[in-house]
Structure 1
Amino acid sequence: MRASRLVTLLLLLQNRGRMTAGQLAEELEVSLRTVYRDVQALAAAGVPLYGEAGHAGGYRLVDGYRTRLTGLTAEEAQAAFLAALPGAAAELGLDGALATARLKLRAALPPGLREHAGRVEERFLLDAPGWYGGADDTPYLADVAAAVWARRAVLLRYRRWRAPEEIERRVEPYGLVLKAGRWYLVAGGPSGTRTYRVDQIIGLGEPAEEFAVPDGFDLGAYWTAYLEDFRSRLHTGEALVRLTPEGARRLGVPPSPAGGGWGQARVPIESIDHAHGEFLRLGADVEVLEPAELRDRIAGTVRALAARYSA
């Protein structure tokens, strides 16, 4: 524990220059006495730091004392800082480790690259979750992550949308994916590699025996293929619609002219039920022409709404 604190103290001085004992104590969450002892330990180990008395005093490192990280371009340094997601790290219990890692990386960068990385932190922030969705309740996320790290199988109790709604199966957790603020577990099991929403896990057994990930398995490649398959199964139908320019903008489609300021477009749809809700939210800016089942469903809803509001 002390060794880690000494490294952090050293990196703080490398990053920020002069710091008072009080500032160091606040950052390290220790007493002033502990800071004094740590500074003495670093000096005894040969670290060239010195203290300055007075109002503008504090501890400093001798100019030029710095560990350099070689081989990084400016773009790579920017990407390293841009890729960090504090919220995701916190959910995995790694927020402290992330902060320390970023501190170490910044301290090790040469001045020019450190300036580039600083600009990224000042000007870009990654916030993965959507606006209107509440945060998922993922009480088993840390345990799942531990099983992924240890490469140990677990007994999973899972809630799904089709019957039977609750299942239990032994899985081998290959990896975790954070997609649009939601965590997914990619795991091997009796039916091959499957994807599970972590917020739908309702029970998790103690980690069991170790397992080996199949040769050639690549989490990134699997996820890309999974998304492609998901999209191909998502839009299985098509609707022909008339829409206003505003409707086309909101729907994100390029319409062909149909006269009277309206246009026509063929739009992929997931299902009649899903398309019914999606087109209704566009109000009078869209008219469904085909399929007839969808047009009739929307017409029926509009009649019911008109009757309700006229009453």
Structure 2
Amino acid sequence: MRASRLLSLLLLLQNRGRLSAPELAAELGVTARTIYRDVTALAAAGVPIYAEPGPTGGYELMAGYRTRLTGLTEPEAESLFLTGLPEPAAELGLGAHLAAAELKLMAALPTSYREASTRIRQRFHLDPPGWYREPDAVPHLPAAAEALWQDRIIEVRYRRWSPRPGEVTRRLHPLGLVLKAGVWYLIAAHERAAGEDRPRIYRVSSIVALETTPERAARPATFDLAAFWREHVDRYESADQEDVAVVRLSPAGVAALPDVLGPRAARAAKNTLEPPGPDGWQRATIPMESVAHATGGLLRLAAEVQVLAPPALVSHMIDTIRAMAGIYSPTGPPASSATTSR
């Protein structure tokens, strides 16, 4: 562990130039006292490191010195595909490996390229989650990723909303993980139909419990994760899928669909609109990721929408609206509500 930290300290000085002990401590997650000891150890090993006193001082390597100890470890190499995505890397348990890999890559680059990569990082930033969204809690993501990497069958307890709300137990053969708009999804084959049935998609935040078995998972040789996900997105956004909601919309609700569903999904929903009734309302079918997700979106339409199906969505909408009404009633919120019972 200390050897890894010493190398990281050395690469930080090589890549960034002069750094103070507090700055180095913050980068490496240790105390300044530990940095003093590490610098002494590097100097004793023959590294030409010296301290510059004063308010702008710090530690620095002798001009022209460069280490060639930049070989990537296996976990560091595995983490490189997440460069530029520090939060997903941390969720997968690869944050430290990614930081170390980036340091080594920077050290190996010629000076001009290193300066260009620094300028890019200073000027461009990727933030995957949508507006007003906090990332899902995904405590089982590292275990799912490890099982996926090791090709192990997993046993999960999963919270689902359809066809019947509740928790189910599944034995799954993991095939891939996808990060979409800040949400992690596990693609896996059900044990019952491994190698035969179409892989299914599980929202990682809905996994209540996960246990990795020693049994080897079956992975179809022809499975293409990117192609599978692309097909799923196309099917979802065109509403050509099993999980859909049937609703009635007022003229104002129809006009607000792009803001609620997004332009592409709204166009797909509008293609299903039936002729207006005497009151001007129209029946439509909209894609539904999950009951909870659909409820949150449809509540934005307030009284401009009526949900007709599926029953799980109707029930959840009713429970949520009753709970909201209870909060605003003169007598205050009820002792229990849908938000506490689910």
TM superposition score normalised by structure 2: 0.62
Relative to structure 1, the CA distance from residue 25 to residue 196 in structure 2 (aligned partners, 3 Å threshold; closer, same or farther) is: closer
CA distance in 2, matches of 1:107, 1:229: 45
CA distance in 2, matches of 1:297, 1:88: 50
Number of the residue aligned with 2:290: none
Number of the residue aligned with 1:43: 43
Of 278, 296, 300, the residue aligned with 2:277 is 296
Q: Measure how far apart 1:294 and its partner are.
A: 4.8
Q: Measure how far apart 1:282 and its partner are.
A: 7.0
2:201 aligned with 1:195, yes or no?
Answer: yes
Relative to structure 1, the CA distance from residue 274 to residue 63 in structure 2 (aligned partners, 3 Å threshold; closer, same or farther) is: farther
Q: Deviations 1:49-97 (Å, cap 9, x if unpaired)?
A: 3344556553322223235799xxxxxxxxx899521221222233333
Gaps of 5+ in 1: 71-79, 237-269, 284-288, 306-311
User: Alpha carbon RMSD of aligned pairs, Å?
Assistant: 3.7
Of 253, 270, 273, the residue aligned with 2:247 is 273
Q: Which stretch shows the higher mean deviation, 153-162 or 227-236? A: 227-236
Equivalenced residues, count: 257
CA distance in 2, matches of 1:30, 1:231: 47
Relative to structure 1, the CA distance from residue 4 to residue 297 in structure 2 (aligned partners, 3 Å threshold; closer, same or farther) is: farther
Number of the residue aligned with 1:167: 168
Q: Is the 8 A contact 1:138 1:198 kept in 2?
A: yes
Gaps of 5+ in 2: 71-79, 259-269, 283-302, 305-342
Number of the residue aligned with 1:176: 177
Q: Measure how far apart 1:291 and its partner are.
A: 7.4
Larger Rg: 1 or 2?
1
Q: Percent same amino acid at aligned positions?
A: 49
Number of the residue aligned with 1:205: 211
Relative to structure 1, the CA distance from residue 133 to residue 44 in structure 2 (aligned partners, 3 Å threshold; closer, same or farther) is: closer
Relative to structure 1, the CA distance from residue 155 to residue 29 in structure 2 (aligned partners, 3 Å threshold; closer, same or farther) is: closer
Per the alignment, in what secondary structure is the counterpart of residue 273 of structure 1?
strand
Q: Deviations 1:156-178 (Å, cap 9, x if unpaired)?
A: 22233322434322101122110
1:67-216 to structure 2, matched below 5 A, reads 67=67, 83-165=83-165, 166-189=167-190, 190=193, 191-216=197-222
Q: Deviations 1:19-49 (Å, cap 9, x if unpaired)?
A: 3344434443444553333223323434333
CA distance in 2, matches of 1:12, 1:18: 9
Number of the residue aligned with 1:242: none
Q: Is the 8 A contact 2:147 2:212 kept in 1?
A: no
CA distance in 1, matches of 2:164, 2:202: 15
Per the alignment, in what secondary structure is the counterpart of residue 47 of structure 2?
coil
Relative to structure 1, the CA distance from residue 51 to residue 293 in structure 2 (aligned partners, 3 Å threshold; closer, same or farther) is: closer
Relative to structure 1, the CA distance from residue 109 to residue 36 in structure 2 (aligned partners, 3 Å threshold; closer, same or farther) is: same
| Residue type of the alignment partner of 2:177 | L
Number of the residue aligned with 2:230: 224
CA distance in 2, matches of 1:110, 1:293: 63
| Residue type of the alignment partner of 1:281 | A
Relative to structure 1, the CA distance from residue 87 to residue 28 in structure 2 (aligned partners, 3 Å threshold; closer, same or farther) is: closer
| Residue type of the alignment partner of 2:178 | V
Per the alignment, in what secondary structure is the counterpart of residue 171 of structure 2?
strand
Per the alignment, in what secondary structure is the counterpart of residue 142 of structure 1?
helix
Q: Deviations 1:1-35 (Å, cap 9, x if unpaired)?
A: 10111011101111221233444344434445533
CA distance in 2, matches of 1:282, 1:214: 39
Relative to structure 1, the CA distance from residue 47 to residue 174 in structure 2 (aligned partners, 3 Å threshold; closer, same or farther) is: farther
TM superposition score normalised by structure 1: 0.68
Number of the residue aligned with 1:16: 16
